[in-house]
Structure 1
Amino acid sequence: MALQKRLVLGVLTVGSLLVVYILCVNLERPLSWSRVPLKHFNGFIQGAGSGSRDSEEPLDRKSNSDRWSRPPPASTFHPELTVLHQHTRATQTPTLKTQTSAAEHKAAENEAPNVSNSSSGSDREAETGTKGPTVKPRQPTQAAGPTEPPFIGDTYMSGDIPPQTDCPDGVRGRVAKTEFGGRFLKHIPVLQWAEHVTREQHQRLSRYPGAHGWGGLDYATLVETLSVLNSSANWQMLDDWKDRRNKSECSRCAVVGNGGILKDSKKGKEIDAHHYVFRTNGAIIKGFEQDVGSRTTHYTFSTNTLMNSMRSYAGAGYRGPPLSKETRYVFLPDHDRDYLLMKAAATHTPVPRGPERTKDPTKYFGEDVSAEKLKMYHPDFIRYLRNRFLRSNALKTRYKDIYRPSTGAVMLLAALHTCDKVSAYGFMTPDYKNYSDHYYDSSYHQVGFFINHDLRMEMTLWQQLNQAGLIRLYMHK
């Protein structure tokens, strides 16, 4: 009898341990693919509803002031990065080897809706005239990768735009011989302009939200706002190349980030010696010319990042976009407010509605701003950069709709698609912990990492482009 009792007790004990083990295993398993493991992110995560577009604007949306009563600490805040996370464990940066295969990319390129030459019939007229590429719609085509979710949309408009230079060894000529040849589209439109707005294109791009499409933008608003971008200056990034080439065969572009690596770099003269100088967001120049230069030919921003930069970096001396005769303003359209501000700037009228309602655009872009000085990235180009160069694991989470390449990344990759020689300064390098977040920080601020950008993946990309000889990346030796 005693032996029988011991056997029963032993069986019950083993059974209880098995039940506890099974429960522990199930609790550790992710509830669904869309949940975000906290170990992948740094900072704090906003509560319910953080996947909404409002969560992208902690300082700009007055309707959400109760939810964002205290802004993030200055040491971690960045105007375009909006959901902070506390880093608890080192994570592995996704490598570019996980991108869609070159064969699939080639298929997508061949299937993309085509854009014909301008009616002028010659390269010279296409370069200098006011009529640019127009859309010749095809039947709807299926995106590459039949198992990819619809929001990826790896099919793009194609434009037969002649190169502006005859550079014998520029990026366009060398890229095919590198690992990036299979994903680099030479004919994707970098900029959007008036003739891109058709009902067919609106229907196609309305499937993609934010910077990746025209989701949430009605057709009438698009026609009204983009109608002011109707000259060659609006669809060519280097619209004044003929006037500044100075017998040079190749266009040389310096793309300047705001990273702390530039502090005491003494790279100012080298930067200013390029044909074109690209800057973004809180680009503070006064007092830092010796390190970062003084010229700005292209200033890239979204309305959200511009307004946040003016708030966040006012104490460091940032008053707004650089103002000069040669400066072009390149909008990254993240919301309808970008289209509204762009139209207001082109027409010198107050912004009609939205967060910037009644604002005078000349306050930001100067009294001499005109439509010819304005450009706007094409949503196909932003989505292409995300899909083929910076396809982060964030796209597998519930934050997929707010993830996009950072504004600086868009600027650098746009230069890669439009310039012959590209030099990058002030971008994140593997030794980033040795430098403050910005070159103008008065004290050390660590770099912050956020859900809506994958800065580590971008850092890896800069290293790969540099090793492939497609950019020249400034790094401390």
Structure 2
Amino acid sequence: MQSQVVAASAFLFCCGLFYVLIWNKMPEKWPSFQAGNIPTRESDSFWRSGDEITGKLITTTGTFSLNLSSRKTTKGASEHHVPLNTSELKHQINITPIPILHIKNFTKLPKWDFEDVYMQSSEARRPVCSKSLQNSKDKEFQEAALWNIQLWLHNGHLSVSEWNRLAHFNNPFGFMEYTYTDIKKSVDLIPKPKYNQLLPVPSGSEDGCIRCAVVGTGGILNGSKMGKEIDSHDYVFRVNGAVTKGFEEDVGNKTSVYVHTAFSLSQSVIHLEKYGFKYSPQDEGIIYVMIPEGLRDYEWIEGLLEKKRMTYGSYKGYRPLTFYNDRFQEDKFYVLHPDFLRYIRDRFMPSESLKESYWALYRPTNGAFALFLALHTCDIVHAYGFITADHSKYPNYYFETTKTRVVFYINHDYNLEIKTWKKLHDAGIITLYQRQEN
């Protein structure tokens, strides 16, 4: 008996010693962070808009490898932020989700040393169109643009390492304040697109160009008679309350890509039913693109892809599939990747609001995300119904019969969007519809 006790003690002693040795060799399980707001450096603005954003244009070269299980970047890391290829991410076997970060602990947008690291695709579109905006001579735009940025979020994307990276960013740019299991169960339902390229070159095209119209809901289109011109494009993007019935002369009736959030679609159906908007646009072959702006969107995705009525969450009692009527097809449903959304915010639309205590409320509008999606999937882009400097002349929405004032909500930076659309137009990257009154 005594010999058995001695043997057991020796065994436990050896196990303890082995555990200590292994523990000392293990890396930390998450990158370092501070509850507070001490950035590693000021943000580099690649696409400056007017005078409100300062900072130098930075061009970086070299490769960057980030070990998300360590407190340090790997040896040879560039001094500045450089995009990270998916294959370069280091996945550790013994990694666990980081502790939840809370927005209230940051007095302004926190900046991490991997702030400008994005998932990129090996299947980037290579346009054959000589007029493609990808061939723009605008230096600032070209240095900001990542033509191989990962556009779509789908199953296989949320390893724990990827979660730990994206959990540092607030929604819709990441998963701050969420839990790994809540988000992963929805992401794992999203099928990988059959084709990385959203829109094919039209059959019969002589120049190989993809021509797109992106139609916002701005009142500038009321009485514009631009409907025929809009529908003449190869593809038409629409957003939110995309009312067309009764307004065909001004906005057309063709919809190829419908960009939305769960909230924008559900609320549009409720509030715009009097205008004939009973569900999402129903064109044959339509593509639905979802902006995952928050937890409720991931709940919506779960209900939609499992074709069920929600029994919990923000949409309890809702059956998301009914909002798409008969046109929903899984292979025509895409979800934008948080990296793409953050890339648009940080490189093209960094608002001064990000320096304020309400920083987490700010994000570009759904129309802005739709327009930049078009810039990454089309060769020639015309924008209609987007806010312009003379917005006070027009009603808030084109489908309103009486003139209403445009409301500048705190979660968007409309002045920045006005300047950004004008700057893209002046650079020849888009053609912005700007109404000329006699």
Please give the TM-score of this superposition, normalised by the length of structure 2.
0.75
Aligned to 1:137: 89
SS at match of 2:381: strand
Q: Give, in angstroms, the shift of residue 454 of structure 1.
A: 0.3
RMSD: 2.8
For structure 2, the 5+ residue unaligned runs are 1-36, 38-47, 62-77, 93-107
Q: CA deviation at 1:297?
A: 1.1
CA distance in 2, matches of 1:105, 1:183: 11
Match of 1:333 in 2: 292
Gaps of 5+ in 1: 1-33, 35-92, 116-134, 141-146
Aligned to 1:381: 340
Paired with 1:303 and 1:105, the residues of 2 have a C-alpha distance of 38
> Which residue of structure 2 aligns with residue 95 of structure 1?
50
Match of 1:215 in 2: 176
Where does 1:52-451 land on structure 2 (aligned, <5 Å)?
A: 95=50, 98=53, 100-103=55-58, 111-115=82-86, 135-138=87-90, 149-150=110-111, 153-163=115-125, 165-174=127-136, 176-233=137-194, 235-238=196-199, 241=200, 244=203, 246-451=205-410
Q: Is the 8 A contact 1:108 1:154 kept in 2?
A: no
Is contact 1:297–1:328 with CA below 8 Å preserved after alignment? yes
User: Which of structure 1's runs of 4+ aligned residues deviate more than 6 A?
Assistant: 105-110
Cα deviations by residue, 1:421-476 (Å, 9 ceiling, x for unpaired): 10000111111111111111110001111111001110100000000000011111
**Letter of the 2:287 counterpart:** R
Deviation per CA, 1:93-132, whole angstroms, max 9, x where unpaired? 96267255331676798633213xxxxxxxxxxxxxxxxx
Q: Choose between structure 1 and 2 for higher RCO, CA contacts under 8 A separated by at least 6 residues.
A: 1
- Distance of 1:96 and 1:337 partners within structure 2: 36
Deviation at 1:244, TM superposition (A): 4.8
TM-score, normalisation: structure 1: 0.69
Distance in 2, matches of 1:99 and 1:349, equals 49
What is the CA–CA distance in structure 2 between the aligned matches of 1:448 and 1:105, rounded to whole Å? 39
Q: Distance in 2 between matches of 1:165 and 1:351?
A: 42
Whether contact under 8 Å (2:214, 2:382) holds in the other structure is yes
SS of residue in 2 equivalent to 1:355: coil
CA distance in 2, matches of 1:242, 1:354: 40
Q: Quote the offset at 1:207 in angstroms.
A: 1.0
Corresponding residue SS for 1:269: helix
Q: 1:207–1:186: structure 2 CA closer, same or farther, 3 Å change rule?
A: same
Using the alignment, how far apart are the partners of 1:105 and 1:367 within structure 2? 48
- Structure 1 residue 283, shift from structure 2 partner: 1.1
State the Cα distance separating 1:372 from its structure 2 match.
0.9
Q: Which of 411, 425, 431 lines up with 1:466 in the alignment?
A: 425
The equivalent residue for 2:26 is none
Counterpart secondary structure, 2:374: helix
How far 1:136 moved relative to its partner? Answer: 3.7
Higher helix fraction: Structure 1 or Structure 2? 1
Structure 1 residue 245: Cα displacement: 6.2
Change in Cα spacing, 1:110 to 1:171, as seen in structure 2 (3 Å) is farther
Work out the CA distance in 2 between the residues paired with 1:335 and 1:192. Answer: 14
CA distance in 2, matches of 1:195, 1:100: 37
**Distance in structure 2 (CA, Å) of the matches to 1:202 and 1:342:** 18
Q: What code does the residue aligned with 1:396 have?
A: K
Q: Distance in 1 between matches of 2:126 and 2:326?
A: 30
Q: Contact 2:239–2:367 at 8 Å: present in 1 too?
A: yes
Task: Give 1:270's aligned amino acid.
Answer: E
Q: CA deviation at 1:164?
A: 5.3
Q: Is the 8 A contact 1:191 1:237 kept in 2?
A: no
Residues 455 and 156 (structure 1), Cα distance of their counterparts in 2 relative to 1, 3 Å cut: same
Q: Cα gap change, 1:196/1:108 in structure 2, threshold over 3 Å: closer, same or farther?
A: farther
Given that 1:346 and 1:370 are in contact with CA atoms closer than 8 Å, whether structure 2 keeps it comes out as no
In structure 2, how many angstroms separate the alpha carbons of the residues matched to 1:189 and 1:108? 23
Q: Give distance in 2, aligned partners of 1:297 and 1:389.
A: 25
Q: Tell me if structure 1 keeps the 8 A contact 2:213–2:235.
A: yes
Cα 1:252–1:242 shift into 2, 3 Å: closer
Task: Measure the CA separation in 2 of the matches of 1:231 and 1:94.
Answer: 35
Q: Work out the CA distance in 2 between the residues paired with 1:194 and 1:456.
A: 37
CA distance in 2: counterparts of 1:274 and 1:260, whole angstroms? 21
